[in-house]
Structure 1
Amino acid sequence: MDPIITINGVSLSSGQLNGYKVNYQKLWKNANRNMDGVVTATLIGIYPNISLTTRELEFGEAMALSGAVNQDYFSVTFWDTQTSTHKTAVYYAADHEVELLNKCRYGKVTIELVAKNKGS
């Protein structure tokens, strides 16, 4: 099955995901509102940040995914919901959470990925 997302070499298909969202975050500079309520600002760029939650994972799957995001920056190939294509960009993990069910079985893994550069 074609992966929805590949994080630093670790691929996740739709069957492994419980949730997948792409948040197209706009970053502005010099944003002000005048007395008439009119906004003036310069758009720096739109950054496709990604939130995902997996299904319950086996030990090896959870460790591979945690290892993939426990780095400064890494490559992510993701399904872009606006263009219906795969795109590749550099990301970092803002936060990630691993649920432990027992010593050999993990629950869901939740990851927040932040784009290093604006989308193209």
Structure 2
Amino acid sequence: MKAVQRTFQVDRYMPKTAAQARVVARLDDDGVLRYREDRALWGANNWQFVTVRVPADASKAQVMAVINAKTSSRVGDVHTGSRLRSITRGRSVTIAWELGKGARPTSAWGANKSVNQMFFARS
């Protein structure tokens, strides 16, 4: 069975205001995280890069389990591939964004900051 390496930025967003909550709720609407799109949440999030090695035909649940095994408790786990509809201030959500082709943890949006991250799963 062929294995592949996949890298994710796992963000735990903790909106402190109603405006930040609206930003969090909109982040995964299109399934894409663009460079600095979550800037309004800086200081209201914890994040971690996670690189996993999984079978090429791994199910979403299998990949989530491997991601969760590598994330710290301050970031949290992901459990569903469904998109976030809403969130209120004071609540938190963890979202795993898969880095795009050519991106890596030291350059999460690529050399020109033009490689989007893709929604994978959330808590």
| TM-score tier (shorter) | 0.3 to 0.5
> In terms of Rg, which structure is larger?
1
| Greater fraction strand | 1
Scaled by the length of structure 1, what TM-score is found? 0.35
| Greater fraction helix | 2
Q: Which has the higher contact order (CA 8 A, sep 6+)?
A: 2
Scaled by the length of structure 2, what TM-score is found? 0.35
